[in-house]
Structure 1
Amino acid sequence: MSAKYRVVVAGCGGMANKWVDYAQGRNDTEIVGLVDIKQAFAQAMAERKGLTCPTFTSLQVALAETGANLVFDITIPSSHYSIGSTALEQGCHVFGEKPLAESMEECLSIVKLAERTGRTHAVMQNRRYDGRIRALRRLMSDGHIGRTGFIGADFFIGAHFGGFRDAMSSPLLLDMAIHTFDQARYLSGANPVSVYCHEFNPPGSWYEGNAAALCIFEMSDGSLFNYRGSWCAEGAITSWEAQWRITGEYGTAIWDGIGEPYAEIVAPNDQTGKFIRDYVRVDGGLVQLNNEFHEGCLDEMFAALDEGRKPETDCSDNIYSMAMVLASLESARLGQKVLIADMMK
């Protein structure tokens, strides 16, 4: 019997291993083709994973010959638009690595194409699928700190990648910041309204482009999101999940990106006349997920298809996280605040 989900994998580099392993663990999913610009890479993946499916250098040919209904897009960012649009036009759903595409014009085009074809295009935002950040969001949504006024995220890591990132014009904003931006949207449940961004390259940086940035976002719920980040920060590094401080009417929620989140809120006793009030701690604990990170996001993508709904990271939602990245770059270039609505036209 043919599997419910017949998958063509586009892009057979290192990250593809996680996606292939996940698909092979599902009873309703079959990998029916592997595509890579270098067919030897696709053949090596097939041998490594014990796959007997054909390999291709053309996605169009692969879709025509395999009868696939789902494409995993794990290609380089510059290929995401062509892979995603080709797959959608051929009637396939798409699950892809970030970014959705490299320009806002391409991102908007994919969103419109997915809507026109009635197919799903979902983006891998794996950092949403972490029991700790879900617990942090629960602290907020349960009302412990009241209405949110400020969300701050610090990301400081000295990442010696070598290779293409060292030569990028904006390595932090283009390659990494979308994770933290998307986390902020997830936590707040709000979308960006505007951004002022200053990016720079600190002394001692081994990057050719700007490896640090400061961003202030106005959000649709009236709160502010402040991002401070550097990819050339040596010593006292943060978690890859960033360090978070969220202030509300009644208290503050904290997550260091490593342990479990907690909140300190105003104690319920009468504190009339006190200069600094007493606080009580509320532990956030963990939210239990069947799978976390990549596997958790893939769980949600497949569940959405099964249930006939849009996944949490559908392109129509993810485009706002992409807009945060692209508007930040535009703000840094212009040296002024940029309205997100202007980016979405």
Structure 2
Amino acid sequence: MSAFRTVADHAAPVRVVLVGAGEMGRNWIATLTASPEVELVGLVDLNVELARAVAGELGLSSVTIGTNLVEVARERGANAIVNVTIPAAHHAVNTQALFAGLPVLCEKPIAPTVAEALSLAAAAEVTGQLLMTSQSRRYYPSIARYKRAIGSLGSVEIARTEFFRSARFGGFREEMPSPLLVDMAIHAFDAARYLFGTNPVSVYCQESNPSWSWYRGDAAATALFEFDGGLRYHYTGSWVSAGLETSWNGQWRVNGAGGTATWDGDEKIEVEYLEGYAEPSSSSLINEAHSAAGDKPIEIAGALDEFIAALRTGQTPSGDVRSNILSLAMVEAAVHSAEAKQRVEIHAILENAYRAAIRHERRPEVGAALEAWGSGSAGLGL
């Protein structure tokens, strides 16, 4: 039986209200209006004039505009919410939607802290609604090919991602603490969990902010994670590195008992096996994954596609809030490690967050659900 409610009419387009009319909201409007699986019926923002201006500019004449997502959703008979607000608003918006009986697809991070994310997982459990994170980099065509290549190397124990971009966003990202780790590195950390098929154990991390940086917080970081089974994963990145920039997915190198596989973050994957290793054909690995991918939507369109499929079938999506919390815990652990200048256990981060979630929970039914778990790990099914 499904752990969340599905839509009643599996054939009709899912009626969606988009919350957040900023720059990322514009990207989502393009994705939502291009999909035959959804109908965009509402646009919500505290800055209603901004929402009206965006709707007028993009020709959304039939969309209802307002500041209250529940009112707009009820007026238009919406089936779901897409939350593209700033991270600090995610917990409040997601909770409001869930308790209004509306499933949510939320931009990453699902919440600013692991404690708030655990609260959201409990809220989804109590309401019986789907809460999914748009971890859009999981829907890149070549990542499935790279996962297959890694799987052909035998025991994998060394992995590395290099990420170097010169990114000028303006707005909250350039003012927030730890912008690289909090807003970008989660993509690589989540991809690592997907690619390696195992969970993180600990991290040692250092942050810095180069003298030429235009960010207030540290825009560069290096982190060494240990995963179950002894794999060491090294991430190093910067948001203020112009010239010879990497893909937005970074450059990857993975070493296993049978050889090495690299990925440029875009389309190029190379595999070299040890002499005498019983290698499968590299071309067959790539071709099979290409065939499996077909014409599936990518990036945020891929996240939307999986969200809608989940609402129609009841199949738990890869971005389900419970699954995504460990990726967020990797970020929080890295930030704590950089601050404390010491190795941090992921388990400790999760359990400290669990206790904080119980202490700060304002909804009695959510608090009761959290306490019933017994531990953060148990709540996530670990």
TM-score (norm 2): 0.82
Gaps of 5+ in 2: 1-8, 352-382
Question: Are 2:70 and 1:60 aligned?
Answer: yes
For the 8 Å contact 2:258–2:277, the answer to whether it is kept is no
Which whole-Å CA distance do the structure 1 matches of 2:308 and 2:156 have between them?
Answer: 32
Which whole-Å CA distance do the structure 2 matches of 1:74 and 1:269 have between them?
Answer: 47
Which whole-Å CA distance do the structure 1 matches of 2:98 and 2:32 have between them?
Answer: 20
For the 8 Å contact 1:9–1:35, the answer to whether it is kept is yes
Which whole-Å CA distance do the structure 1 matches of 2:30 and 2:171 have between them?
Answer: 27
Deviates more, 1:189-198 or 1:260-269: 260-269
Residues 137-168 of structure 1: per-residue CA shift (max 9 Å, x gap) = 01123xx2112112210011222334433333
> In the superposition, relative to structure 1, how do residues 24 and 162 fare at CA in structure 2: closer, same or farther (>3 Å)?
closer
Which whole-Å CA distance do the structure 1 matches of 2:42 and 2:210 have between them?
Answer: 45
Equivalent residue letter for 1:71: I
RMSD: 2.3
Equivalent residue letter for 2:195: L
1:312 positional shift = 1.0
For the 8 Å contact 2:31–2:300, the answer to whether it is kept is no
The residue number in structure 2 matching 1:186 is: 194
For the 8 Å contact 1:114–1:121, the answer to whether it is kept is yes
The residue number in structure 2 matching 1:275 is: none
Equivalent residue letter for 1:124: S
> In the superposition, relative to structure 1, how do residues 102 and 32 fare at CA in structure 2: closer, same or farther (>3 Å)?
same
Which whole-Å CA distance do the structure 2 matches of 1:236 and 1:131 have between them?
Answer: 23
Equivalent residue letter for 2:38: T
1:132 positional shift = 1.3
For the 8 Å contact 1:193–1:340, the answer to whether it is kept is yes
Query: Which residues in structure 2 correspond to 1:1-345 (within 5 Å)?
Result: 3-47=12-56, 48-141=58-151, 144-268=152-276, 282-283=282-283, 285=286, 287=290, 288-289=293-294, 290-345=296-351
Gaps of 5+ in 1: 271-278
DSSP 3-state at the match of 2:282: strand
Equivalent residue letter for 1:192: P
Name whichever structure is richer in helix by fraction. Answer: 2
TM-score (norm 1): 0.90
For the 8 Å contact 1:127–1:179, the answer to whether it is kept is yes
Residues 159-210 of structure 1: per-residue CA shift (max 9 Å, x gap) = 2334433333212112211111111111111121111111112343332321
Deviates more, 1:121-130 or 1:63-72: 63-72
Equivalent residue letter for 1:14: E
> In the superposition, relative to structure 1, how do residues 50 and 169 fare at CA in structure 2: closer, same or farther (>3 Å)?
closer
DSSP 3-state at the match of 1:82: helix
The residue number in structure 1 matching 2:363 is: none
For the 8 Å contact 1:185–1:191, the answer to whether it is kept is yes
